[in-house]
Structure 1
Amino acid sequence: MIVAGLTGGIATGKSTVSDFFSAAGAQIIDADRIAREVVEKGKPAWREITAHFGQDILLPDGEIDRQRLGDIIFSAPKEKQILNRIVHPHVFREMETQRQQIQNSSPDAIVIQDVPLLIESGMHKHLKPVIVVYVPEKFQLERLMKRDNISEAAARARIAAQMPIEEKKKQADIVIDNSGSREQTRTQTLKIYRCLEQQQAMKSHIPSDTPTGSYPPHQF
Structure 2
Amino acid sequence: MTSYDVGLTGGTGAGKSTAAARFGELGAVVVDADVLAREAVAPGTPGLAAVVAAFGPGVLAADGSLDRPALGRVVFGDAELRATLEGIVHPRVAARRAELAAAARAADPDAVVVHDVPLLVERGLTGGLDLVVVVDAPDELRVQRLVEGRGLAREDALARVAAQASRDERLAAADVVLDGTGSVADLRRQVDALWERLAEAVAASRR
Q: Larger radius of gyration, structure 1 or 2?
A: 1
The letter for the 2-side match of 1:161 is: A
- Structure 2 distance, partners of 1:78, 1:192, is 38
Q: State the identity %.
A: 36
Alignment-derived partner of residue 35 in structure 2:
33
Whether contact under 8 Å (2:121, 2:169) holds in the other structure is no
Count of residues paired in the alignment: 205
Q: Indicate whether 1:15 and 2:17 are aligned.
A: yes
Which stretches in structure 2 are left out of the alignment for 5+ residues? none
SS in 2 for 1:60: coil
Deviation at 1:164, TM superposition (A): 1.3
Q: Indicate whether 1:42 and 2:19 are aligned.
A: no
Deviation at 1:176, TM superposition (A): 0.3
Choose 88-97 or 153-162, whichever is displaced more. Answer: 153-162
2:151 to 146, 149, 152: 149
The letter for the 2-side match of 1:26 is: A
SS in 2 for 1:124: coil
Alignment-derived partner of residue 215 in structure 1:
none
Deviation at 1:122, TM superposition (A): 1.0
Whether contact under 8 Å (2:178, 2:190) holds in the other structure is yes
Alignment-derived partner of residue 67 in structure 1:
69
SS in 1 for 2:127: helix
SS in 1 for 2:203: helix
> Relative contact order, CA 8 A, sep 6+: which one is greater?
2
Alignment-derived partner of residue 214 in structure 1:
none
- Structure 1 distance, partners of 2:151, 2:69, is 13
The letter for the 2-side match of 1:100 is: A
Deviation at 1:169, TM superposition (A): 1.2
- Structure 2 distance, partners of 1:126, 1:79, is 29
Deviation at 1:152, TM superposition (A): 2.8
Alignment-derived partner of residue 202 in structure 2:
200
Deviation at 1:129, TM superposition (A): 0.5
1:27-77 per-position Cα deviation (integer Å, ceiling 9, x unaligned): 100000010011111111111111111112111111110010011001211
Which stretches in structure 1 are left out of the alignment for 5+ residues? 206-220
TM-score of the two chains, using structure 2 as the length reference: 0.95
TM-score of the two chains, using structure 1 as the length reference: 0.90
The letter for the 2-side match of 1:188 is: Q
Alignment-derived partner of residue 216 in structure 1:
none
SS in 1 for 2:6: strand
1:189 to 185, 188, 191: 191
- Structure 2 distance, partners of 1:182, 1:49, is 35
- Structure 2 distance, partners of 1:112, 1:26, is 6
- Structure 2 distance, partners of 1:195, 1:59, is 45
Deviation at 1:149, TM superposition (A): 2.0
Within-5 A mapping of 1:45-60: 45-60=47-62
Runs (4+) of structure 1 moved beyond 6 Å?
A: none
Alignment-derived partner of residue 172 in structure 1:
174
Within-5 A mapping of 1:103-142: 103-142=105-144
Whether contact under 8 Å (2:73, 2:156) holds in the other structure is no
